Amino acid sequence: MSDAATSAPPTERHRFYEDVFAMLLGTLLVSIGISLYTKATLLTSGAAGVALLFQFATGINFGLVFFAINLPFYWLAVRRMGWRFALRTFIAVGLVSLFTWFTPGWLAIATVDPIYAAVAGGSLMGLGVLALFRHRTGLGGVNILALYLQEKHDIRAGWFQLGIDALILFCALFMLPLEKVLISLLGAAVLNLILAVNHKPGRYSGIT
């Protein structure tokens, strides 16, 4: 067998416009998923889940809470992942906060079945986060830690986030009906399954 057949494929660097497109598309998908969750009173993962809990409890806009919650994690992003990753993550968090602020005016949702919202919203958020991960961009909070652990210690980002999600959903038992918590768990499983299946270490070689 020739060396060409056995050698690894060359790593292809993402172009700037590809990173921009992935960031816009990924954050838009996440924002639509969050809008479905907000309408159905469901929870999602990580810092976004905490922000949704806070919104349900206080009525403060998700975007404001989500942006504020992520501020402490940028230090870890700069220290462990580099300033480029931290800057892209900061922009992505800002875009999600902005998109979720304006989405209710762009997309009027009168009613949505909670199970549909969990599956469709979880899929949209999973695909959005996957697009961001593949362009070395996170959504702050747990995503920063999950991506760092995967790159440095080969711990699957999806499985790690699933454990964190379980903790968030446990806290939600004190705020939401059990039915909504169980349906949220379904959505979290869909989201993290997409990441676990499609974002394995070494599978995707594109870099930024």
CA–CA separation, 55 vs 51, rounded Å?
Answer: 6
Residue-level pLDDT at 1? 42
Domain hosting 116: range is: 12-198
Q: Is the pLDDT of residue 175 over 70?
A: yes
What is the residue whose two structure tokens read 């705020």? 175
Any domain includes 187: yes
Q: Is residue 37 part of a domain?
A: yes
* CB 38 within 8 Å of CB 109: no
- For residue 164, what are its two tokens? 């964190």
Please say whether the beta carbons of 141 and 73 come within 8 A.
Answer: yes
Q: What is the pLDDT of residues 88-118, one digit of tens each?
A: 888 999 999 999 999 988 988 888 999 999 9
State the average pLDDT for the chain: 82
97 belongs to a structural domain? yes
* CB-CB neighbours of 102 under 10 Å: 11
Flag whether 5 is in a domain.
no
pTM: 0.80
| 194 within some domain | yes
CA gap 82, 114 in Å, rounded? 39
Number of domains in the chain: 1
**N-term to C-term CA, the chain:** 32
Cβ atoms of 172 and 199 within 8 Å: the answer is: no
Q: Which amino acid is at 53?
A: L
- The verdict on residue 34 lying in a domain is yes
3-state SS, residue 42: coil
Tokens encoding 70: 């992520």
Residue 78 lies in a domain: yes
Distance CA 70, CA 65 (A): 9
101 inside domain: yes
